[in-house]
Amino acid sequence: MPTIIELPVVPQPLPANWTAPASSGKSISPLVERRLLPAGQAYLEHVRRAVHNLSFEEHDKHAEEERKRLEALNGNGTGIEDDLGVGDEEETEELLTLDPKEWKKQDHYAVLGLSHLRYKATPEQIKIAHRKKVLKHHPDKKAGVAGDSNDDAFFKCIQKAFDVLMNPERRRQFDSVDPYFDLIEADVPTASQVQKAKNPEKFFFEAFGPVFEREARFSRKQPVPMLGSYDDPKEVVEAFYDFWYNFDSWRSFEYLDKEVNEGSDNRDDKRYTEKKNKAERQRRKKEDTARLRNIVDTALSVDPRIKRIRQEEKEAREAKKKNKGPANAQTAKQKAEEEKRKAEEEAKRKAEEEAAARAEAKKAKAAAANAAKKARRAARAATEGGQPEAA
């Protein structure tokens, strides 16, 4: 049996000039505690109280504040940053059993609990929803849970959804072929439905308004004119249809491309696959353009504003035609009076000119007569003055 020997340990006395160091005011790092102070939790709390000169109440208050700060930092609490109503949608059995290998077929918004927002979800909402899903479905949390046979498959789906939606280009590709909207794109009202409606005007705006709002998200040009109201003027209606008939869409279909077989290094296979994908994208783009054009054509054919505008133009033409006869008669009368007035003024002017000419001629004639008379007198005077000299 081993023998236990107890050795007394007497610490050396402190120097006479030693003084206790002042408190640094800093917390002891948990890393330092683990590495340099391999002691129990009770001892560590004692050290904290001694270093910071805290009472038990002050220490407990400080510990609670630190716990709340760490929870808010790690997203484990219920802070105000989570108060956005995202990531809490009900998870169906079909959703929870998704195959991560078929990630292209999954609804990424539904996986993250963003089905009610979809393309309107902001990056911050996506981050919050992802954090909630990770905390709920992390494999470490689900380990050993009875009835959990899906392992970490759904967790991989969550990560893939987050990767796609946080990448602007890949998210735009997914939004172009969002499976949710694929189901409702065919739900477009027909002309007969509008015409047979109890209130065609109201039905037209209620039915086609959401359709154009849904399609507007693909426009390169912003803002996009919406359907408007029944009282819109002709200029607004014409601008609306002009925009939609020249709609510039950014929608693409790369997300549906067929993947090249994994492990294949054959260049011919890759080129063939890329060529086929390109042809499929062009076909889908052409079909989508024709689909949108058909929607605009249908809306134009049953738009109650077009009927109203045409009726207003017809009434304006009829009113103009109705007032055309009296207006022309009045114009002719005014024209005749104007010509008569001008003729009278012209005759008066000519009369005045003739009178002035006659007066001028008479005056000239009188002046010539006076000059002749003076000449005769001068000649007679000259004759009479020369007779005595001759005698």
Domains in the chain (CATH in brackets) are 42-73 (no CATH), 93-166 (1.10.287), 185-302 (no CATH), 310-336 (no CATH)
Instruction: Please measure the distance between the N-terminal and C-terminal CA atoms of the chain and give it in whole angstroms.
Output: 212
pLDDT at 30 (0 to 100) = 46
The pLDDT assigned to 131 comes to 93
Q: Which of 191, 223, 181 is nearest to 296 (CA)?
A: 191
Choose among 219, 200, 162, 190: nearest CA to 307.
200
- pTM for the model stands at 0.59
The whole-number pLDDT of residue 369 equals: 84
Residues 348 and 321: their CA atoms lie apart, in Å, by 41
Distance CA 20, CA 30 (A): 24
Is 219 strand, coil or helix? strand
The more confident residue out of 219 and 319 is: 219
Q: At 212, list the tokens.
A: 């154009």
Query: What average pLDDT does the segment 103-107 reach?
Result: 93
* pLDDT at position 23: 54
pLDDT in tens, 26-59: 444 444 444 444 556 777 777 777 877 888 888 7
Please indicate whether residue 102 or residue 50 has the higher confidence score (pLDDT).
Answer: 102
State the pLDDT at residue 327: 56
The secondary structure element, H or E, covering residue 359 is helix 324-390
Higher pLDDT, 224 or 139: 224
pLDDT digits (tens, 9 = 90+) for 218-263: 999 999 999 999 999 999 999 999 999 999 999 999 999 988 766 6
The pLDDT-based confidence of 385 (bands split at 50, 70, 90) is low
Cis status of the peptide bond prior to 223, with omega within 30 of 0: yes
Percent of the chain with pLDDT over 70: 79
Please check the confidence at residue 275 and state whether its pLDDT lies above 90.
Answer: yes
pLDDT at residue number 381: 83
Instruction: Give the model's pLDDT for residue 4.
Output: 67
